[in-house]
Amino acid sequence: MLKHLYIKNFTLIDQLDIEFRPGFSVITGETGAGKSIILGAIGLLLGNRADSKLIKQGEKKCTIEAHFDLSNYGFEAFFEAHDIDFEPEDTIIRRELTATGKSRAFINDTPVSLQMMRTLGEQLIDIHSQHQNLLLQKDDFQLNVVDIIAQDSTELAAYQTAFQCYKNAEKQLSELKEQIARAQENEEFMRFQFGELDSAGLTEGRQEELEQESETLSHAEDIKTSFYEADSLLNEDDNGILSRLGRSLESLGNIENVYPKAQELVQRLSSVHIELKDIAEEISGESGLIDFDPSRLDSINQQLDQLNALEQKFHVSTERELIGIRDEMEKQLKNIEHSDEELETLEQEVKKRLDECEKLAGKLTTSRRKAIKTVEAQMSSRLVPLGIPNVRFKVELTAKPLSTDGADKVQFLFSANTSTRMESVAQVASGGEIARVMLSLKAMVSGAVKLPTIIFDEIDTGVSGKIAQKMALIMQEMGNNNRQVISITHLPQIAALGSSHYKVEKEETPEGTRSRMRELTEEQRVAEIAQMLSGADISDAALQNARDLLGLGRK
């Protein structure tokens, strides 16, 4: 329930700070006084789009804040799920706009996203404006009314989960069919390309090895000559390095007994001699391994040419990438070979999911058919006292292809007279009749949904007199059922039945036009309702009529 509303620097409002009461309240005021401005401010708390132009001219920031009492509405789970402190008796929602275009949202002083504010706001307040009467033209609105009365949210959620699984499986099947079709179109060419890659004997690292071997064979003569010269220099009989080094060791060995330092030099030189002998043997061995083989070189170059040609053809730069392409082609070709099996498996999955959806949709249909009887009975009983004694109201349920809300199409049929056939309510009902139908629907639905606050913005359009009074009694009844109902009205018959009465006024000041709202006292209510009855010149008869209307409201 809305307890308190604070608005600062919002369009024509300097500052509004007002308490709201439980039950049925009314808001009156001249056209253009600012009632729609207040609704616009509340709409921002429900997550509506913000515009910096809404800030009062000359100000840098506007603030809209509302306090709610949520003690009896079961909101604990929402606050716990979003890790927000829950103060059931004083839940605060705030929206701030700046002239620079920034918008911030808060729930109990915790910054939240606009989407989260919208999610909570939709559960706190329902604003019924005149344009919402157009909802009667929409199938999903009518179906939603039936679902609310059917209280089938659990069944609907189960169906929607199954439907999503069905659509996902159907999408996978469609994608597989497209993939198979494309693959089959390219199968022959793909097999040819795969043959080229497969025959190339691709092995990771082989290209580098071939390039190295090609380089070696291309310079075989130079390599062999270099190894031969090095071998000769090391191993020549008398003048080779090893021979001379051996003689150096022998010479120093002759003096190591008489010259101790020579012992260390002999050891070091001996180590060098051993290492050099190993190197000389390796050089000699390598020299024997190098042999120029023109046929081998040709074979290697042919393989490298083939690899380079394939890399060019497939627009890659490494053998590893060619291997990846080959493996992917092999996988696709295997998929083509086994596509019938995979296709059959997915088709069975789609059928299974479809069967499950149809079964759950059938349960929804059964639940809705039962609820339809309740809707028809309640709507007829509510519309008769509202001045449509011969009303006929029927809910037509027809089959439709499976969709996100089931397999049912709902249409509200209406006739105000016994002599005319029933047609879609949006097509045959007058403006006043549509207002009464929507009020009856809201009253019926409010009994099934725990919505703390409902605001009716001139739902009385097209009605007057006794019918307006009947509509007020319905709103009064709704307000007495642990619910807060606020009606913005121009009709004195409705204004008189409110337990609380607020007036919106516009005044001209040296600083410009300002809009303000105040709660009326008992005497002020008499004057306001009398003015609504007779206009600017309030007569004694109008005052007495106003008192009579207020007395009826108290009864």
Q: Please, what are the domains in the chain? A: 1-129+451-520 (3.40.50.300), 188-337 (no CATH)
pTM: 0.67
Quick one: which of 473, 498, 478, 489 has its CA closest to 550? 498
If you average pLDDT over residues 500-518, what whole number do you get? 87
**Cα 250 from chain centroid (whole Å):** 91
Please say whether the beta carbons of 316 and 323 come within 8 A.
no
Pairing mode of beta strands 103-107, 91-98: antiparallel
If you average pLDDT over residues 116-127, what whole number do you get? 90
pLDDT at 101: 85
Give kind and range of the element (H or E) at residue 325: helix 319-337
Burial 407-418 (b: 16+ CB within 10 A, else e): bbbbbbbbbbee
Quick one: which of 189, 179, 132 has its CA closest to 461? 132
Burial grade of 165 (CB within 10 A; 0-12, 13-18, 19 or more):
middle
Please state the φ and ψ torsions of residue 15, each to the nearest 5 degrees: -155, 130
Q: Looking at the predicted structure, is the pLDDT value of residue 373 above 80?
A: yes
Burial grade of 77 (CB within 10 A; 0-12, 13-18, 19 or more):
exposed
If you average pLDDT over residues 411-428, what whole number do you get? 88
Q: What is the edge-to-edge ordering of all strands in the sheet holding 91-98? A: 13-19, 2-10, 61-68, 91-98, 103-107, 110-112
If you average pLDDT over residues 294-300, what whole number do you get? 76
439-451 per-position pLDDT tens digit:
999 888 887 777 7
Q: Looking at the predicted structure, is the pLDDT value of residue 176 above 80?
A: yes
Amino acid at 360: L
Please say whether the beta carbons of 59 and 7 come within 8 A.
no
Q: Looking at the predicted structure, is the pLDDT value of residue 293 above 80?
A: no
Task: Quickly state the pLDDT bin for 155 (edges 50, 70, 90).
Answer: very high
Pairing mode of beta strands 24-28, 484-488: parallel
75-87 per-position pLDDT tens digit:
898 999 999 999 9
Q: Looking at the predicted structure, is the pLDDT value of residue 132 above 70?
A: no
Which residue shows structure tokens 């393989």?
303
Q: How many residues does the chain have?
A: 555
Give kind and range of the element (H or E) at residue 215: helix 206-218
Amino acid at 242: L
pLDDT at 330: 86
What is the DSSP-derived secondary structure letter of residue 55?
Answer: B
Task: Quickly state the pLDDT bin for 44 (edges 50, 70, 90).
Answer: very high
Average pLDDT, the chain: 87
pLDDT at 224: 75
% of the chain with per-residue pLDDT over 90:
39
Pick from 296-310, 347-361, 505-519, 524-538: least confident: 296-310
Please say whether the beta carbons of 438 and 145 come within 8 A.
no
Q: Looking at the predicted structure, is the pLDDT value of residue 7 above 90?
A: yes
If you average pLDDT over residues 504-520, what whole number do you get? 86
Q: Which residues contact 357 (CB under 8 A, 6 or more apart)?
A: 159, 162, 163, 166, 402
Pick from 11-25, 38-52, 275-289: least confident: 275-289
Distance CA 234, CA 246 (A): 12
Q: Looking at the predicted structure, is the pLDDT value of residue 284 above 80?
A: no
Task: Quickly state the pLDDT bin for 390 (edges 50, 70, 90).
Answer: very high
Burial 213-250 (b: 16+ CB within 10 A, else e): bbeebeebeebbeebeebbeebbeeeebebeebeeeee
Q: Which residues contact 198 (CB under 8 A, 6 or more apart)?
A: 326, 330
Q: Regarding predicted confidence, which is higher, 300 or 365? A: 365
pLDDT at 383: 93
% of the chain with per-residue pLDDT over 70:
95
Question: Two tokens at 455?
Answer: 């605001």
212-225 per-position pLDDT tens digit:
767 767 766 677 77
Pick from 127-131, 169-173, 230-234, 317-321: least confident: 127-131
Q: Is the dihedral of CA 313, 314, 316, 321 positive or negative?
A: negative
Task: Quickly state the pLDDT bin for 262 (edges 50, 70, 90).
Answer: confident
